[in-house]
Amino acid sequence: MNRQISAMIAAVVLCVGALFMLLSLAGQNVSAQNALQAQNQGNKPKEDQGNKNKGDKGDKNKEDKGNKPKPKPKPTPISGIYNPYPPGILPDDLNSEINRVLREIDVIENRAIQRWHSLQPPIVTGQPPTLQNTGTESIETLGQLMNFDKNISPGKNQACSSCHMPYAGFSGPIPSVNLTMIAYPGTVHFRAGKRTAQRYTYSPFFPVLQFNQEQGLFFGGNFFDSRATGFLLRNPDAEQAQHPPVDTQEMGNPDTACVAFKLSQAVYRPLFEEVWGAGSLDIKFPHDTEAICATPGGAAAFGGNTTPVKLKPEDRLRANEVYNHWGQSIDAYEQSVQVSAYSSKFDAFLHGDYTLTPTEQAGYNLFKGKGNCNSCHVDGRGTTLTPGQVDTSTTATANPPLFTCFGSANEGLPLNPRDAFYYQTTPDFVGFTGNPLGFAYRDLGMGTFLRSGFGSAPNPNQNWIPLAPSVDGQFQVSSARNVAMAPPQCPTTEAPGPYFQKEFFHNGYIKSLKQLVHFYNTRDVKGIAFDVTSGHCPDGTIEKVNCWPRPEVRNNLDMTTGNLGLTDEEENQIVAFLQTLTDGFTRPYPNADTFTGTCMTGGNAATQGNEFLIPTPILPPCATAVCGVFPTPTPAIP
């Protein structure tokens, strides 16, 4: 690309970035971090504006380094949002609920800032050098500050936690989104992804993705499609944390260097440099970095360029290292007892400090017996599937079970026409189109990832490509821990409540744990399984009660469930057991008290959310960009 074209693109980016900044910031509350920065700017001379009451740990006078601050581009008014959706896909309260979550994020961010300031600095000692005493809490606190920092997004309007709040088990915090659009809106309102906000409690314990040649199965990775393999950092959870900041439909930064740039301006920069080394954020960013990083990723002005911040090789290398530290720091927070707490009733039961109620115990017996749940959601016990079998195994107490096998499975979920992703077929105001395939898109899960296919990520291991047909339709077996977590004032996920509306599985089709267990129990039962799509169950049937629509992807269907023969009472008993896996029983779960929304009431768990079912349109054939990529699915997917 010649210099003239580069200059033209830079000019367009400057304009788009300025426009987007004003649109996103208009009417927003000031975050805890911004408020603290404003306070410091009013009380300190400019050369001291990074020290944040941490002694001499802040930035040195940048003017002494010859790096004078660059003037920010002046924002220009812009009107309109991206709304390609038919009526009813976006919930009516979406804006107010987004703002509610942002206020809650500010509360937690403030607590994290206070936690940081209360820490004694670690002592660097030993060989290799170690941050003695408070090193662990320092990196965990750094990860928490990053996780609740909405300034990382181009619009300064979305943090990682916007889709993952503590009171929901670090899954989706907006009940109306969980009922309607499924995927959460990103920094551009209202781009959205294609899947539910997956819980990241206990996700740090998933291993690097590997193919077990003896079993012929994949294990490990993060995300529903395991695309965060951990191949480079050898840590899938740290790699997972690197995706949303640059995902076009989430936080939407156009360049990973934008995260390094924003960290260099963050109030907690001194903590970052305390953990990762003095000078680790000393990167010479070009003058147009602010405007570039205020422009959402995917903008036509970038022409597909994913590194629009023009850094010298040595600065790009340093920015890449900072981005690795971003992932590692967030992983440290997610591994900590702040997130993965092992504080449930079940953990107390393992330790002998709690006795399961008769209903909970019956549910546990079914979980590891007739329900066949622990074949995938492993609890360290054997499975007794038939009458007369006796479980002679003992519960794993030295390493409490995670209730996952780290593998993947296709449970046969129907296509969910409420997923906002299907409707993003037109360009937004920066020229980005989220899903040009529309309803010709099929979510093949891991299969699409192994093909480096549309909507996933590049596969780093060419030896896995031929295996793609064997995993089409498969999604990660998430930990069952915290599946039932809800805010204290809405203590259940189940109607009639008061309850907190969640969504389950990768596409949010299931709306309660009762439905989830009933689906596993009856998916394949004759007279209940119908060859229809969602919203078209036969007259006289009730969808999710005595009608299950056909799977979106039939290939590689898990046949260990689907006709378990459980009674209605037994289904309820398994739900009761799943509720014992919620953290916060032996000690309060950190920041679970921040929910300020409204609980739901009424109805029943069997039909929960059914009033929001919509008919699936006539589906076109699966797009070539998905189902025509070598090696093609076998059998072919319609």
Domain boundaries, the chain: 3-335
CA distance 545 to 562: 14
Nearest CA to 464 out of 225, 300, 638, 233 is that of: 225
Tell me the average pLDDT across 518-527: 98
Point out the least confidently predicted range of 48-52, 333-337, 442-446, 540-544.
Answer: 48-52
pLDDT band at 12 (very low <50, low <70, confident <90, very high): very low
Tell me the average pLDDT across 469-479: 98
Q: Is 100 helix (H, G, I), strand (E, B) or coil?
A: helix
Do 220 and 206 meet the contact criterion of CB atoms below 8 Å apart? yes
Tell me the average pLDDT across 479-490: 98
pLDDT at residue 389, rounded to an integer: 67
Point out the least confidently predicted range of 9-18, 266-275, 353-362.
Answer: 9-18
CA distance 488 to 592: 7
pLDDT at residue 390, rounded to an integer: 65
CA distance 100 to 159: 13
Q: Counting Cβ atoms within 10 Å, is residue 447 exposed (0-12), middle (13-18) or buried (19+)? A: buried
Mean pLDDT of the chain: 89
| Predicted confidence (pLDDT) at residue 367 exceeds the cutoff of 90 | yes
Sign of CA pseudo-dihedral 86, 88, 92, 94? negative
Point out the least confidently predicted range of 71-75, 111-115, 395-399.
Answer: 71-75
> pLDDT digit string (tens) for 542-556?
999 999 999 999 999
Biggest CA–CA distance in the chain, Å, is: 79
pLDDT band at 399 (very low <50, low <70, confident <90, very high): confident
pLDDT at residue 539, rounded to an integer: 98
CA distance 206 to 378: 13
pLDDT at residue 383, rounded to an integer: 72
> pLDDT digit string (tens) for 117-134?
999 999 999 999 999 999
Residues 6+ apart with CB under 8 A from 317: none
Cis peptide, bond prior to residue 128, ω within 30 of zero: yes
Cis peptide, bond prior to residue 286, ω within 30 of zero: no
pLDDT at residue 70, rounded to an integer: 43
Tell which phi-psi region holds residue 418, choosing left (phi > 0), alpha (psi between -120 and 50) or beta: alpha
pLDDT band at 36 (very low <50, low <70, confident <90, very high): very low
Q: What percent of the chain has pLDDT over 90?
A: 84
CA distance 93 to 71: 37
Tell me the average pLDDT across 617-635: 98
Global pTM reads: 0.89
| Predicted confidence (pLDDT) at residue 29 exceeds the cutoff of 80 | no
Question: Could you say which architecture CATH assigns to the domain 3-335?
Answer: Orthogonal Bundle (1.10)
pLDDT at residue 385, rounded to an integer: 66
| Predicted confidence (pLDDT) at residue 524 exceeds the cutoff of 70 | yes
pLDDT at residue 49, rounded to an integer: 34
CA distance 54 to 72: 27
Nearest CA to 149 out of 267, 38, 313, 318 is that of: 267
Q: How far lies 257's CA from each of 68, 251, 474, in Å? A: 20, 14, 33
| Predicted confidence (pLDDT) at residue 71 exceeds the cutoff of 60 | no
| Predicted confidence (pLDDT) at residue 19 exceeds the cutoff of 90 | no
Q: Counting Cβ atoms within 10 Å, is residue 360 exposed (0-12), middle (13-18) or buried (19+)? A: buried
Cis peptide, bond prior to residue 496, ω within 30 of zero: yes
CA distance 243 to 250: 9
**Residue 403 structure tokens:** 């209730």
> pLDDT digit string (tens) for 298-356?
999 999 999 999 999 999 999 999 999 999 999 999 999 999 999 999 999 999 999 99
pLDDT band at 397 (very low <50, low <70, confident <90, very high): low
| Predicted confidence (pLDDT) at residue 1 exceeds the cutoff of 70 | no
Strand partners, 504: 510
> What is the residue whose two structure tokens read 């993705």?
209
pLDDT band at 380 (very low <50, low <70, confident <90, very high): confident
pLDDT at residue 381, rounded to an integer: 75
CA distance 266 to 50: 8
pLDDT at residue 86, rounded to an integer: 97
| Predicted confidence (pLDDT) at residue 275 exceeds the cutoff of 90 | yes
Do 507 and 416 meet the contact criterion of CB atoms below 8 Å apart? yes
pLDDT at residue 154, rounded to an integer: 95
> pLDDT digit string (tens) for 206-232?
999 999 999 999 999 999 999 999 999
| Predicted confidence (pLDDT) at residue 108 exceeds the cutoff of 60 | yes
Residues 6+ apart with CB under 8 A from 619: 415, 439, 440, 533, 638
| Predicted confidence (pLDDT) at residue 58 exceeds the cutoff of 80 | no
